[in-house]
Structure 1
């Protein structure tokens, strides 16, 4: 199986440390090991990496993105425990990336209805999501706010791997020539 790519906003070190500590305390080990708010996943982000040429201009044209992390929730299908991210700027960045990348196939969650979020834990059969949700409510009383100043390319090497940062671009910065 091949690598997967996504583009994300990262929280500042203090919020990241709280999330990492929560995951460690609850034995969570999954592909969301590095805390992030995904703004563009997979479609159009092929392993040929030609899309990388388009990203600096989108980042340069996008001002820093305010993010407000809200009370923890579990997706209705139980696939993940997450912090919803209230961020019109993240949605605008997502739409700008879709416009630049023009993927031949889009996922149903892409577009203006995209729900920005920060995954705390992916659902597994052996995980009690109700108990984990209760613990997350205690650990992350809303709101947590930050302003993202970089767009980050994250790569997962394959199944069982975790997304890790590869490269970043300053939001509102000047694209490299």
Structure 2
């Protein structure tokens, strides 16, 4: 039986992210959960978005193209860095890696989202790789955002460096709830150190 929500919104969305090493991913999850108001834990696991939803349509025609692009990109090193904020609305950990910008651009070029989607999702020239810790959109207030940033400096250090060997496609299974859909390995595990 089709529900009202299915009729209103039948298009499932996807995005592509980089997954953290398990131990640090768990450390991030525990840290985020210290704020009861932080509903981000109900949305998706800790990750670094490298290709937002624009152009990743339900017909899945893009998937083979993404696999092909990923197979041509070497694995690379990525470093997490100091917490920061986007205004008073988002606390995040920074990401340091020139290769992540290359990966992002290649994925966007592969999918070819419409210009308004590129703008909406802050892609290409507006891309700022990061790992979101908390956000006012997901329930936190501005005071908590600042408190979280200050607390993350000590609670999440030392900030790790790790190899990115694959990306993860996430699928929206209900509105604002994403789960892992498929992991796609980067090309031949060749590292560009």
Question: TM-score of the superposition, structure 2-length normalised?
Answer: 0.81
2 CA distance for matches of 1:49 and 1:79? 33
Aligned to 1:56: 67
Q: State the distance in 1 between where 2:53 and 2:29 align.
A: 24
Pick the aligned partner of 2:77 from 49, 62, 66.
66
Q: CA deviation at 1:61?
A: 0.6
1:163 matches 2:178 = yes
Structure 1 residue ranges (4+ consecutive) displaced by more than 6 angstroms after TM superposition: none
- 1:115 counterpart residue number: 128
- Residue 83 (1) aligns with residue 99 (2): no
What is aligned with 1:140?
A: 156
For structure 1, the 5+ residue unaligned runs are none
The aligned counterpart of 1:17 is: 26
Equivalenced residue count is: 172
Contact kept? 2:135, 2:145, Cα under 8 Å: no
2: distance between equivalents of 1:82 and 1:166? 24
Query: 1:129 aligned to 2:145?
Result: yes
Structure 2 unaligned spans of 5+ = 1-8
For 2:13 and 2:76, the matched residues in 1 are separated by 24
Larger Cα Rg: Structure 1 or Structure 2?
A: 2
Distance 1:123 1:134 in 2: 16
Alignment-derived partner of residue 3 in structure 2: none
Name the SS for the 1:72 alignment partner: strand
Q: In the TM superposition, what whole-angstrom CA distance separates every residue of 1:103-135 from its partner, at most 9, and x where no partner exists?
A: 123423211441111111122465321112122
Q: Distance in 1 between matches of 2:94 and 2:131?
A: 6
Distance in 2 separating the partners of 1:35 and 1:126: 17
Compare the two structures and name the one with the higher helix fraction: 2
